[in-house]
Amino acid sequence: MAMSGAGGTPGGVGQFLIGFVLAVVGGWLLMNQVTVTSGMWSLWGYNSFGLSLVPFAAGVALLFFNGKSMVGWLLTIAGLAIVLAGVIANLQIYFHPTSLFNTLLMLVLLFGGIGLIARSVRSQA
């Protein structure tokens, strides 16, 4: 069995590893400049997190009563989806102030690494 390179193509392992390291470093530096906080869940000015748990709680109650209840499974899954969507929708993402040089360096490392990875898995012949 012949040895193949990155992505099953001949060669490209060195490019792949260099690209991977560049992408990881660039991604880490970029994500290190970001702060993620959550806001208050509100519906018409009132806190609504508890309201989003009602379908989930009803679904769990139905599943404890009858584990094969289709309505119980639908309510549980829908309740989890509502909670997940609510968490994502209420996130606030801030990019810390940094110099243009640092920002460009982060982006060049990240996208240059991704480009090298893509190039390494392409056939070299």
Tell me what pLDDT residue 89 has. 81
Taking residue 61's Cβ as centre, other Cβ atoms within 10 Å add up to: 13
Residue range of the domain that includes 50: 36-96
Based on the structure, what is the number of domains in the chain? 1
Tens of pLDDT, residue by residue over 16-54, are: 899 999 999 999 999 999 998 887 776 676 777 778 889
The share of the chain scoring above pLDDT 90, in percent, equals 52
Residue 44 lies in a domain: yes
Question: Which of 92, 88, 84 has its CA nearest to residue 36?
Answer: 92
Tell me what pLDDT residue 25 has. 96
Residue 105 lies in a domain: no
**Predicted confidence band at 106 (pLDDT cuts at 50, 70, 90)?**
very high
Alpha-carbon distance of 78 to 71, in angstroms, equals 10
pTM: 0.61
Least confident of 26-30, 86-90, 111-115: 86-90
Tell me what pLDDT residue 90 has. 82
